[in-house]
Amino acid sequence: MNKGFIDVVVGLQWGDEGKGKNIDELLSSKLYFGVARFHGGANAGHTLKLGSITFIGHIVPSGCLHKNIELYIGNGVVVDVMSLVSEMRQLKDVGFNITKRLYISDRAKLVSYLHPFLDQADEHRRNKLGTKVGSTSRGIGPAYSDVRARRALLIGDVQLPDFEQKEKILSEFHMNLLNLYRDKYGFEIPEEKIKEARAKWIEAVKELKKLQICDVSSLVLKRLSEGKNILAEGAQGLMLDMDFGDYPNVTSSNVLPVNVCLGLGVPHTYIRDIYGVMKAYTTKVGGGNFPSRIKDEALEKAFQKAGNEFGATTGRPRMCGWIDMFALRRAISLSGVNKIFINKADICLSDKIKVVTGYKSGTKVFKEFPLYLDQVTDVVTEEIPGWGNKNFGISDKKKVSKELASYLDYIKSKLSDLDVKIVSVGTGPDRNHFFNWDK
Ligand code: IMP
């Protein structure tokens, strides 16, 4: 019989839904013993707030600002060791030394110092073809390519005597690739920059060796057998899933919650609730079509400003769009989400808001989600009343404006066949800026 359980939190849109804040909210229930990352790398960015402390994490799991929570980095993660060491240092500086409660899987993979350059080089190639993905340039694609091609460095390798040799072989291979990008596509990285990156990486690897590298799958299974519950933290969002996102404008890992089993090393029987996180509107960074994008430039800018829609990893302004129920229904169906968090519901900047309910190509209305979003030329929309700035900071369901209440009912009615609950609605950046809805 299973003793503990795993709940999963995933993004339902294009990432940046505010998952970190919801994880914080879930942790305050004291139900969980640990938080685990199971895919992705330092391309993710979660902003965590605690009193006067604001911490932007990329690779350290959310939950780092809760002193009794264990943190796990699963085998499915590609670890940017420089980010890891720097985030740990920043956390220590504000009184959160996580060294003794962070466990890194020996089967997780190392992002090398040349992976970000390879990422930039391939983006340069794609740019020439007009097919830029808008990668965060954190080396995620090249790192996962090495994993699939069976030449990656595992985190556990750093403890083995042949690590230097393995690293040399891989770096040589990467340099050959970079030379190819130079000769064929005119992309060149100055030698000095490579030397500098290598020196920093070697230092960070030395720090990594001092950390708790272990079989995280066994550890998590042990915790579960002790009756302890774990929260699995998704990165990015369903529209960026390698298989079900808008390929090739996707990230290089599977965002879907079933990937918890593979990326953490646990059987599916432990999985209990799947929380899906969305914003009351939609944002996107990077390449590819964005069907629900707001066409009024000034209104889009106003959303960027009001929602502080600038990338936590890259600082890029995020494109803003109306809520896309067509994409959301698919994300929820694919992921088996049963509970929903809606964030940034305080932000509403017009009297009427649009809801995208379908996609069109010319006069044809899509019945199924299209193979490529580029095929979408127009959208089907409905219009409902907006609520202005009436709901900022509300934490009591009874105080919610009638327009926002009817918006939440509207979303539920659109999802009525999917058996989901809207558990909580965010109304501002602080920990207490939310109200429970369907509980
Ligand atoms: P990569 O995973 O960094 O190569 O980026 C691939 C695509 O995913 C790009 O369009 C990025 O903008 C997007 N992306 C990756 N991570 C995030 C994230 O955490 N939030 C939003 N978009 C992301």
Of 45, 54, 75, 21, the closest CA to residue 433 belongs to 21
* Number of C-beta neighbours around residue 25 at 10 A: 18
Burial of 323 (0-12, 13-18, 19+ CB in 10 A): buried
Contact 272/301 with Cβ under 8 angstroms? Answer: no
Between the CA of 349 and the centroid of ligand 1 the distance, in Å, is 27
Q: Ligand 1 pocket, 140 CB below 6 A?
A: yes
Contact 79/59 with Cβ under 8 angstroms? Answer: yes
* Number of C-beta neighbours around residue 388 at 10 A: 15
pLDDT tens digits for range 125-155: 999 998 899 899 999 999 999 999 999 999 9
Residue 49 β-bridge partners:
54
Whether the per-residue pLDDT at 437 is higher than 70: the answer is: yes
Kindly list the catalytic residues. 16, 46
Contact residues for 262 (Cβ-Cβ < 8 A; gap 6+):
38, 76, 254
Question: What is the average pLDDT across 394-407?
Answer: 94
Least confident interval from 47-51, 122-126, 340-344, 369-373: 47-51
Contact residues for 55 (Cβ-Cβ < 8 A; gap 6+):
47, 48, 49, 64, 65, 87, 90, 91, 94
Interior/surface letters 105-123, b for 16+ CB within 10 angstroms, e for the rest: bbbbbbbbbbbbbbbbbbb
CA-nearest residue, atom 8 of ligand 1: 251
Question: What is the average pLDDT across 302-306?
Answer: 93
Question: What is the average pLDDT across 159-176?
Answer: 97
Question: What is the average pLDDT across 254-283?
Answer: 97
Question: What is the average pLDDT across 110-127?
Answer: 96
Q: Is the dihedral of CA 119, 125, 127, 129 positive or negative?
A: negative
CA-nearest residue, atom 20 of ligand 1: 15
Q: Ligand 1 pocket, 44 CB below 6 A?
A: yes
Whether the per-residue pLDDT at 425 is higher than 60: the answer is: yes
CA-nearest residue, atom 12 of ligand 1: 286
Q: What percent of the chain has pLDDT over 90?
A: 90
Report the pLDDT value the prediction gives residue 336, as an integer from 0 to 100.
96
Query: What token pair was written down for 380?
Result: 């089907």
Q: pLDDT grade, residue 439 (50/70/90)?
A: low
Report the pLDDT value the prediction gives residue 60, as an integer from 0 to 100.
96
* DSSP structural state of residue 316: P
> Which phi and psi angles does 322 have, rounded to 5°?
-70, 165
233 vs 252: CA distance, rounded Å: 17
pTM for the whole structure: 0.95
pLDDT tens digits for range 198-242: 999 999 999 999 999 999 999 999 999 999 999 999 999 999 999
60 vs 43: CA distance, rounded Å: 12
Between the CA of 250 and the centroid of ligand 1 the distance, in Å, is 7
Whether the per-residue pLDDT at 178 is higher than 90: the answer is: yes
Question: What is the average pLDDT across 16-44?
Answer: 94
| Angle formed by the axes of helices 191-209 and 115-129, nearest 10° | 130
Report the pLDDT value the prediction gives residue 255, as an integer from 0 to 100.
98
Report the pLDDT value the prediction gives residue 351, as an integer from 0 to 100.
87
Between the CA of 236 and the centroid of ligand 1 the distance, in Å, is 7
Least confident interval from 225-229, 242-246, 308-312: 308-312
What does the mean pLDDT of the chain come to? Answer: 95
Report the pLDDT value the prediction gives residue 248, as an integer from 0 to 100.
95
Report the pLDDT value the prediction gives residue 1, as an integer from 0 to 100.
55
Between the CA of 140 and the centroid of ligand 1 the distance, in Å, is 9
pLDDT tens digits for range 46-80: 888 888 888 999 999 999 999 999 999 999 999 99
Q: Ligand 1 pocket, 141 CB below 6 A?
A: yes
Q: What is the dihedral of CA 290, 291, 294, 296, to 10 degrees?
A: 100
Q: pLDDT grade, residue 359 (50/70/90)?
A: very high
Q: What percent of the chain has pLDDT over 70?
A: 99
Question: What is the average pLDDT across 155-170?
Answer: 97
Kind plus residue range of the DSSP H or E element containing 45: none
Ligand 1: atom nearest CA of 41 is: 2
